[in-house]
Amino acid sequence: MRFNSRKRISRCCPVWFAPLLIVFLCTPVSGENGIHLKGRYYRLVTPAGNAEEEVTLDLQRTAFMLIDVYGLFSDDKAYKDLPEFYKSPPEKEKARKEIYQRILSAKKAAKALNLPVVYLQNYLAPSTNGNTEWRIMSIRTCGVDVLKTWQEPNFILAFSKMMAPEPGEYVIKKQMYSGFFETDLHSLLQSLDVKNLVVVGFDANICLRTTVTDAMYRGYRVVLLRDCTTTGEFPDTKEGGYANKLAIRFIEANVGYTATADEFVRACQAAGK
């Protein structure tokens, strides 16, 4: 919009203040130059189904969060000694590597805008013992005794070179599924004045799902990059990938928005111009 700045300023302020006021008037307000993308969500009422709306992420209040993006060591000689639960068939491992490439592209786009990058990583808390219910459950359902397999140095929970945190990025250690449970994650995000979380990682139905749900409880707006996550399928959901689809739908209906990695990258590039 064009306006006669000289005429307006001369009527309301002394001449010495004019340059300062011009700078103020020409400076975009927070959010105008943010990340703009179409956020997909799921309507539970008529008209039910997927819908989209414009979502603007303030560059000063948005963080990029990676949940449990370790692994991808199938070519390593130690892989053969892992419990069955941690091994993937070749086709799943290939698909996972493709997801990791999309995650790296999204992370690169976020870093180009100087967004804080936060990693969440599991570890074996000192309080875990033989009577810990989570340990008992893991043995029962996964055949994994964390008291043995999660001891440091830990091959299972280590980052591969391609996904390792870089200098200046944050790493929050978590014992349970949610990154907010008995960790400093909320305090870190508050200190960074973060309101929006762009989220990638695993597992869509366990650690990622509980973390983004807890994020919403604490007032954060969540945007999941839906092609940057996946979940383990059950024998009766494998055909069609229904467990993964329902995990994403839960987030779209009950937590926040989703977008694709490509949509996020293009939105970041536009914001950086």
Q: What is the pLDDT of residue 67?
A: 98
Q: pLDDT (tens digit, 9 = 90+) per residue, 189-206?
A: 999 999 999 999 999 999
Q: What is the pLDDT of residue 58?
A: 98
Kindly state the tokens that stand for 143.
Answer: 């055949």
260 vs 163, which has greater pLDDT? 260
Q: What is the pLDDT of residue 32?
A: 62
39 vs 96, which has greater pLDDT? 39
Can you tell me the distance from the alpha carbon of 44 to that of 24, in angstroms, rounded to the nearest whole number? 44
pLDDT greater than 70 at residue 13: no
Summarize the confidence of residues 71-75 as an average pLDDT: 57
Summarize the confidence of residues 123-131 as an average pLDDT: 94
For the chain, the domains span: 1-29, 31-271
Q: What is the pLDDT of residue 218?
A: 99
Cis previous bond, 153, omega within 30: yes
Q: What is the pLDDT of residue 63?
A: 99
Q: What is the pLDDT of residue 72?
A: 58
Question: By percentage, how much of the chain surpasses pLDDT 70?
Answer: 85
Q: What is the pLDDT of residue 27?
A: 41
Give the list of residues 6+ apart from residue 134 with CB closer than 8 angstroms, or none.
128, 146, 176
Can you tell me the distance from the alpha carbon of 163 to that of 160, in angstroms, rounded to the nearest whole number? 5
Summarize the confidence of residues 88-108 as an average pLDDT: 88
226 vs 93, which has greater pLDDT? 226
Q: What is the pLDDT of residue 3?
A: 36
At residue 170, what are phi and psi to the nearest 5 degrees? -100, 145
Kindly state the tokens that stand for 68.
Answer: 């449990």
- Residue 19: is it exposed, middle or buried by C-beta count within 10 angstroms (0-12/13-18/19+)? exposed
Q: pLDDT (tens digit, 9 = 90+) per residue, 27-66?
A: 433 346 799 999 999 999 999 999 999 999 999 999 999 9
Q: What is the pLDDT of residue 224?
A: 99
CATH for the stretch 31-271: 3.40.50.850
Q: How many C-beta atoms lie closer than 10 Å to residue 53's C-beta?
A: 9
Q: What is the pLDDT of residue 95?
A: 86
Summarize the confidence of residues 138-151 as an average pLDDT: 93
Give the list of residues 6+ apart from residue 44 with CB closer than 8 angstroms, or none.
253
Q: Are strands 117-122 and 196-201 parallel, antiparallel or unpaired?
A: unpaired
Summarize the confidence of residues 143-165 as an average pLDDT: 89
Helix (H, G, I), strand (E, B) or coil at 113: coil
Question: By percentage, how much of the chain surpasses pLDDT 90?
Answer: 72
Can you tell me the distance from the alpha carbon of 242 to that of 234, in angstroms, rounded to the nearest whole number? 9
Which helix (DSSP H) or strand (DSSP E) does residue 218 occupy?
A: none
Can you tell me the distance from the alpha carbon of 41 to that of 53, in angstroms, rounded to the nearest whole number? 8
